[in-house]
Amino acid sequence: MIKERRLQLKAEIDRRSGFCFGVVKAIEKAEALLNQGQRVYCVGQIVHNDEEVNRLKEKGLITIGFEDIRELKGENILFRAHGEPPDTYEQVRKHNNVLVDATCPIVLKLQRDVHQAWLRGKQVFIFGKAGHPEVKGLAGQTNGRARVFRTLEELKELELPRALTLFSQTTMNPEAFKTVVSYIKDRGIEVEERDTICRQVSGREEDMKTFSRNHDRIVFVAGQHSSNGKMLYEVCRSNNPYTHFISRTDELDRSWFSPRETVGVCGATSTPQWLLEEVKQKIESF
């Protein structure tokens, strides 16, 4: 059998890729308890990355759904960085469970602001993805009365009041948020705009554009369910058409590459650094 010749690829990892600080803190809290031999249940996937979820599962982290909480008593129950609505807090405490709240501080502040706006009688609108864990937590601050929309087209389908307070899911696109605000104002509606987009996430777009253009090819690594990953992947692809999306190293295909290409390896805020390193190593082994 003839051995394939090495492609002599040079791979570089984007220095700003990898977990955001909110996800880092959530995983640190989980591992601290697991390393003590304690049992930990996490409501939903701790991060939208199957590879990292499987790593923590091997260490003992148990992923559950909201409906499972009522079956637990006296257990450690962890809330991930996305946050949870008030009724989840109530369910955890009802059976004397220990709450390990790893909600991102930025999301916690956003939840409080949404709740205060609702208490003041404001019409709360949320620019975000309905059904996303973070958005569920935000809408829960208004007893589910907030109006949620993901696109300008969805907003146009809603009946708008004379005045509203507009919040955003932390991972949405800042330019899209500005477009939404302009549309509402053009309709003659009074809008209190609360740009609550996390700059650790949105600030990566410009860097990602430059990073993508500076390499022959891009390999973007993220979980299939990562909203942030899908958004940043599109940023890369629009600036470098030779961009490939993978979730695991075994999805890499040698045929994508040509000899001596430079390959940029990057990922979402939910992509672990160890996975980026593995992808880099495999690319350079081709």
Integer Cα distance of 124 and 48 in angstroms: 27
Query: In the chain, pLDDT over 70 holds for what percent of residues?
Result: 99
Does residue 157 fall inside a structural domain?
Answer: yes
- Pair of tokens at residue 103: 């909600």
pLDDT in tens, 8-21: 999 999 998 988 88
In this structure, the answer to whether residues 71 and 146 fall within a common structural domain is no
Q: What is the pTM of this model?
A: 0.87
In this structure, the answer to whether residues 153 and 220 fall within a common structural domain is no
Characterize 237-255 residue by residue with b for buried, 16 or more Cβ atoms within 10 angstroms of its Cβ, and e for exposed. bebbebbbbbbebeebeee
* CATH number for the domain that contains residue 72: 3.40.50.11270
Catalytic residues: 134
In this structure, the answer to whether residues 175 and 219 fall within a common structural domain is no
pLDDT in tens, 208-252: 999 999 999 999 999 988 877 888 999 999 999 999 999 999 999
What are the backbone dihedrals phi and psi of residue 99, each rounded to the nearest 5 degrees, phi first? -85, 125
In this structure, the answer to whether residues 212 and 188 fall within a common structural domain is no
Number of domains in the chain: 3
What pLDDT is stored for residue 195 in this prediction?
86
> Of 182, 197, 212, at which residue does a domain stop?
197
What pLDDT is stored for residue 196 in this prediction?
87
3-class DSSP state of 191: strand
Does residue 265 fall inside a structural domain?
Answer: yes
Contact yes or no for 49/272 (Cβ under 8 A): yes
Place of tokens 């909201």: 66
* CATH number for the domain that contains residue 250: 3.40.1010.20
Does residue 3 fall inside a structural domain?
Answer: no
Mean pLDDT within 106-135: 95
Indicate the residue type of 259: P
**Cα torsion at 125, 129, 134, 138 (round to 10°)?**
20
> Of 197, 220, 253, at which residue does a domain stop?
197
- Pair of tokens at residue 175: 């330019």
Describe the crossing of helices 105-119 and 133-140 by its angle, rounded to 10 degrees: 30
Does residue 183 fall inside a structural domain?
Answer: yes
Indicate the average pLDDT of the chain.
93
pLDDT in tens, 57-102: 999 999 999 999 999 999 999 999 999 999 999 999 998 899 999 9
pLDDT in tens, 150-204: 999 999 999 999 999 999 999 888 889 999 999 999 999 999 999 888 877 777 8
In this structure, the answer to whether residues 89 and 33 fall within a common structural domain is yes
**How much is the CA Rg of the chain, to the nearest whole Å?**
21
What pLDDT is stored for residue 225 in this prediction?
82
Contact yes or no for 158/147 (Cβ under 8 A): yes
> Of 147, 166, 197, at which residue does a domain stop?
197
Q: Which neighbouring-strand residues pair with 43?
A: 64
In this structure, the answer to whether residues 135 and 182 fall within a common structural domain is yes
What pLDDT is stored for residue 55 in this prediction?
96
The domain in which residue 243 lies consists of 10-18+202-285
- Pair of tokens at residue 119: 């208490």
